[in-house]
Structure 1
Amino acid sequence: MSLFTQNTGNNRNKIITYSPAYTLVPTYECFNRCSYCNFRVEPTTDSWMTLSQAREILLRLKNEDVCEILILSGEVHWRSSRRKNWFQLIYDLCSLALEMGFLPHTNVGILDFAEMEALKNVNVSMGLMLEQLTPSLLNTVHRYAPSKLPELRLQQLQWAGQLKIPFTTGLLLGIGETEDDRWETLGAIADIHDQYQNIQEVILQPHSPGAEQSFDGLAFNPDHLPEVISQAREILPPDITIQIPPNLVKDDHWLLACLDAGARDLGGIGPKDEVNPNYPHLQVESLRNILQPAGWKLVPRLPVYPQFYDSLSDKLEAALSNSAMSYFLANSFNFIDKTTHT
């Protein structure tokens, strides 16, 4: 049994992982208009990142403790004349990150099968939030968000499974769904993983109001988050890790309660949360000051979990052995063994 499996419930291995990460945003423009969004700008109003700008950023990161480069983008409509250039930029950013010794993880919304297949070659993992599968949200927060159709998002997980892409997905909590909606969404994730065995983690993200959104919903009550985590732990297969964003769980008591309930990963930690810009990331030392007195050990991980290494191409496996990754590999293998053990 791998440590990721062991860490899915209460046990003596009180280890919490995180990914030392930096986010590159090719563009903030997005054709979706989710009413809770604090990320997007209107299409054609944003200057896209250039490869030279990205290279300058990545050169600076060479001296930082960063292994994951999260490519996070707003969506250019699939019928837009600019879609091809948008996708090429994303692909080139991933290639550049690999070339410079980092490990890319891409989350850019709905992709077609060919786009996903291409990005598989330059990403060690990919992701897309399901958010919620309830169709009723198409009349509220997703009314003007064509790519939030539940069947489209579920299809992305299925395609990722067919392509054997290590994948991260998750739920957005408190956007108008019911408890039954949450359990149904978690059940759908479990079903896909049972079929393809490619979901490495599920994020449970509480809605946290920001300055730019039009949605007037309240923040998700943190008192309820440990209960959701506990229920998710019952629904999801044990080899899927549950992730929570610590900057959205402000109270130290509730953060520890979430870990006691079964959360075992804190996601990518970098200088800025691009999706929730009003909620600065808690940095590693601050997190350790919270976790260590309660007996938890915070350790870095790579953006691909060890049980998925064998699904990577030779090129991506070579990237895992890159000298720039040696620090993180050493730390990861101290606590997370690729082999099975009892």
Structure 2
Amino acid sequence: MFPAADEYGIEIEIDESDVERLLSVTPADVEAAPSLTFSRNVFLPLTTACRYTCTYCTYYDVPGQASLMSPEQVREQLRLGADAGCTEALFTFGDKPDDRYTEIHDQLADWGYDSIVDYLYAMCELALEEGLLPHSNPGDLTEPEFERLREVNASMGVMLETTADVDAHAGNRRKTPGQRLNTVRAAGRERVPFTTGILVGIGEDWRDRAESLLAVRDLHERHGHVQELIVQNVVPNERSDYEGPSLETMRRVVAMARVCLPEEISVQVPPNLAPARNLLDCGIDDLGGVSPVTDDYINPDYEWPALRELHDIADEGGVPLGERLPVYDRFLPESPNGDSDWVTERIRTALAADDDAGRRYRSLVGKW
């Protein structure tokens, strides 16, 4: 179905009738969720280096300008987040940055790390020490990398974006649908509770959106690992003039996602980018990670809403708003319906700890 995935041996067969069904979906075909959730996080842009040069992205910096957070800077931010009552340490950076940026690689070597993955592992350990559960978004990873990083991560993620070949990903350094699908599959094979998503408005058409959603469903049906899917609208920024999708488009895509995906997968929109108030009746049930102490470094021009604003969104929809952990209940042994095979001993120990962090974690389990 997706030729770009052939080199990774990924076989995803999508029934044409499923595509046609999704293309016919409207917001009238779904019901509003009974509640909304969010995760309170501290955002840590470990490095702004990336091997890709996507035309809509303001996150990456060119070689010679990219930053790399030091362990001291990471610890400072972690403590800031812990003091603000956060439960999630959101680590993010570009794909394989030390492959392209010699200065980043050299700095890591000076600190005693062979790669950015090694460094991420150590910083996740630091997060656990400071009372936060790591959720890492490190771009495309292999199965051995997931196997290692899952030990110190409560959950992980990567945006699929689209299964289509779009000009937004063009150039010598381009991400491909096959690479992204391979990463989503690798996470499932290594039993990592996983977040993924589609990006709306980067040149894909309606059929591409339907096929992307069905590809996520297919991989989840095999591995059971997808905990949430983000429907994210592209936004104008200093590097691109992509015209964001209309409200009507977002309403329809969110409804398609809700109809396509099984009930256990949450459908999320980022409240600093998308008109969440106008999407409540289309099936969203999560507002993602929101930080009370750090910026959205992926979209720095778009501030996080305050917690009061999240409550306002939920109140307008007549639904309760609840805080959750970065890993969903069904993956936790502490939850009545949880499965102990999904989180490692390191994470279970953190959840069971008799300290402020452990008690804070457990207070959120089983509530939503």
Q: TM-score by structure 1 length?
A: 0.88
Question: Which of 243, 257, 263 is equivalent to 2:278?
Answer: 257
Is the 8 Å Cα contact of residues 300 and 332 (structure 1) preserved in structure 2?
no
Shift of the 229–178 alpha-carbon distance from structure 1 to 2, 3 Å rule, reads same
How big is each residue's C-alpha offset from its partner over 1:94-117, in whole Å with a ceiling of 9 and x where there is no partner? 111012211000001112222221
Alpha-carbon separation, structure 1, partners of 2:172 and 2:283: 32
Alpha-carbon separation, structure 2, partners of 1:47 and 1:257: 37
| Paired residue secondary structure (2:47) | coil
Question: Which of 195, 200, 206 is equivalent to 1:168?
Answer: 195
Amino acid at match of 1:124: A
1:326 is aligned to 359
Which sections of structure 2, spanning at least 5 residues, go unmatched? 1-29, 109-113, 333-339
Identify the range of structure 1 (236-245 vs 57-66) with the bigger mean alpha-carbon deviation. Answer: 57-66
The count of aligned residue pairs is 317
Identify the range of structure 1 (226-235 vs 181-190) with the bigger mean alpha-carbon deviation. Answer: 226-235
Is the 8 Å Cα contact of residues 42 and 77 (structure 2) preserved in structure 1?
no
Question: Which of 85, 88, 91 is equivalent to 2:115?
Answer: 85
1:216 is aligned to 241
Amino acid at match of 2:348: E
Question: Which of 287, 299, 303 is equivalent to 1:276?
Answer: 299
| Paired residue secondary structure (2:169) | coil
Is the 8 Å Cα contact of residues 302 and 329 (structure 1) preserved in structure 2?
no
Question: Which of 135, 148, 158 is equivalent to 2:175?
Answer: 148
Alpha-carbon separation, structure 2, partners of 1:216 and 1:147: 19
Alpha-carbon separation, structure 1, partners of 2:40 and 2:201: 28
Q: Which runs of 4+ in 1 moved over 3 A?
A: 76-81
Q: Post-superposition shift, 1:128?
A: 0.4
2:262 is aligned to 237
Q: Post-superposition shift, 1:328?
A: 4.3
| Paired residue secondary structure (2:78) | helix
Matched, 1:96 2:98: no
Alpha-carbon separation, structure 1, partners of 2:287 and 2:244: 19
Alpha-carbon separation, structure 2, partners of 1:44 and 1:74: 15
2:344 is aligned to 313
Is the 8 Å Cα contact of residues 31 and 43 (structure 1) preserved in structure 2?
no
Alpha-carbon separation, structure 1, partners of 2:201 and 2:308: 30
RMSD: 1.8
Identify the range of structure 1 (281-290 vs 56-65) with the bigger mean alpha-carbon deviation. Answer: 56-65
Amino acid at match of 2:185: Q
Matched, 1:66 2:86: yes
2:252 is aligned to 227
1:298 is aligned to 321
Q: Post-superposition shift, 1:78?
A: 6.9
1:188 is aligned to 215
Identify the range of structure 1 (303-312 vs 313-322) with the bigger mean alpha-carbon deviation. Answer: 313-322
Q: Post-superposition shift, 1:256?
A: 2.9
| Paired residue secondary structure (2:42) | strand
2:52 is aligned to 32
Is the 8 Å Cα contact of residues 29 and 41 (structure 1) preserved in structure 2?
yes
Alpha-carbon separation, structure 1, partners of 2:139 and 2:118: 15
2:232 is aligned to 205
Amino acid at match of 1:88: D
Q: Post-superposition shift, 1:60?
A: 2.7
Amino acid at match of 1:295: G
Question: Which of 65, 68, 84 is equivalent to 1:48?
Answer: 68
Question: Which of 95, 112, 128 is equivalent to 2:142?
Answer: 112
Percent of residue pairs bearing the same amino acid type: 34
